[in-house]
Structures are given as structure tokens and as C-alpha cells.
Structure 1
Amino acid sequence: MGHPVRNVHRRTIPASPGAVGAVLDTLASPGDLLWPWEEWPPVRFDRPLQPGAAGGHGPIRYTVELYRPGSELRCTFTGPRGVDGWHRFAVTEGDRPGTSELVHELVVVTSGLARLSWPFAFRALHNALIEDALAKAARHFGSTAPPHRAWTPWVRLLRRLPA
């Protein structure tokens, strides 16, 4: 039996949903304004962003299941082994006029070695990476968020290990 995981990150951005959605639409493109490729393995797909596009970042593999330009991207994991589920980015109206909320949600069931690798390695790396992505999107709209939050010593150590 697997172990369920739900992980959600949110960022309020001072821009319209249409403007923030346009940032989402740049994912995996040469002008990617969302993914922090400057510090992390870039997202690459075998074709432009669309349902059926296969790719991932680093050892994480997935296929685009749903793509609603300007509002939502959902991918189903195909690797690593023992990670069954999906992750998505979504853009919604913010609580205040003129703002949007950019959300990343991961819902998986881990099994086998992933029951250990998620809590001891991948969770910390995932959290740092997604916070960096949300900060990058916010900086596009004038936020003074740093390029990344201060990575924990554990994240810094994990990033130094060979892949």
C-alpha cells in the first residue's frame, strides 16, 4: 500500500490572471518566466506545451495531461518509479482587486523506495524549487522577492550530491 502526499504552494501576485497566465504559458520555452532554470534543471518537453507533451526536469518525468492556456497546466508523473499521481500550476483571481493567485499542487501516492526518498530528499528539494518558481513569477511583476528563499542546509547538501 502506498503513502498519499498532497503538497500545495501559493503566491499572490500583483497582476491580473491574464498577465500571470501568460507567464505560465512560457513554461519550458526559451523565454521561460516561471521555471527557475537559472538555479535548477530546466523543464523540457518533446514538443510545445500541449496535452501529450512528454518531458520533465532532472530525474522527474511527466506527461502533460491538461493544458488550458493562461490558466492551468496539469502533468501526470511517469518517473521516478514509485511516484504515482500528478502536479499542476493554476492561475486564479486573487483576494484583492488586481491580484492573482499562482498555485502549484502535487498529489501523489508513493510506494517502494519513493516512500523514503520523498520525505528524506525530494520533498525538501521540491519545496525549495517551487518556492523559487513562484518568486520568479512574482519578480516578473515587480516583486522584490529574492531569486530564491534561503535554502536550508539540507537543501544545499542535497543539491551538491551527484544526480
Structure 2
Amino acid sequence: MMLPRTGIGVDVHAYAPVDAPAPLWLAGLHWEGERGLAGHSDGDPVAHAAADALFSAAGVGDLGTHFGTDRPEFKGAHGVVLLAEAARIVRAAGFEIGNIAVQFVGNRPKFSPRRAEAEAALSEAAGAPVSVSATTSDALGFTGRGEGIAAIATALVIQRPAADAVG
């Protein structure tokens, strides 16, 4: 019997400097009119944490291993592209994805009106159910001061028998 494996992913991005604005990409969605985050790719901490949780669960490295700053082809890449590639890597390593759960911590944007849209975009990218919740940090820490957004994710994967691995 193959037991499920769990992984944890964390990602944090500071807001882009006011003199070098960026669009906000969060949970696979563009948030018009919101201050964006700085990052090598699109700075989407929700998608990045989800990808990192998958890598952790499968034991195949982390976000930096696969999409680090030494990989110029991922400069500016959207988080859903990275999540889809992470899911492909995990499946190629012989795992099926059960689900991914992500919580982001930030004062804005107001997430609940777009939750279903975000979960659909991330679930499509991962090829598995992704749930997203949001919270604030009650004005504590860098997220509470409005300096950036953090995300924490868990993923559940199940290893396939060796004969079923996908290449």
C-alpha cells in the first residue's frame, strides 16, 4: 500500500517599489489597480507556495531548484505556468496529486469575491484541486505593515507503483 506524502511550501514577496511599479498577480489572477509584488517571475506567492509544496511532498527539490534566478527562461513567468510545470515534474517523478491547500497572509487585495476564480485557475494549472484561503496578520509583522504578502501551502501526493511512472 502506498501512503500519501505531504509537503509544505512557503513564499514571500515584498511589494514592488513605488518608482518601479509592477502588476499584482496573486493566486493566478491579475488584480487590476493593486500594487504588485517584486520577484524573479510574476511574484505570485500563492502559486509559488503551491508549487513548492508539491516539490516538498515529492522530495524533488524546491522552487529555487527548478525555477531559480539562474534560470533566465523563467524571468517574468506567470505563477500558473510555474505551478503547471511543477505538477508535470511531480507526476514525472511518479506521483499523483491529491490536493493543494494555500493560505495567503496580507492586508489586500480583498480575496473572497474572486476566490472561486482563483481556485479554478490554480486547479486547472495543477490538474488537481487547489483551495485558497486568506487572512490578515492583525497589523503585525511585514504583512501587517503592508510591506508584502506571504503564502503557506500544503500538498498531498501519492506515489504510483514504479511501472506507472510518467516520463
Normalised to the residue count of structure 2, the TM-score between the two structures is 0.31
Please identify which structure carries the higher helix content.
2
Normalised to the residue count of structure 1, the TM-score between the two structures is 0.32
Asked which structure has the greater RCO (Cα within 8 Å, sep 6+), the reply is 2
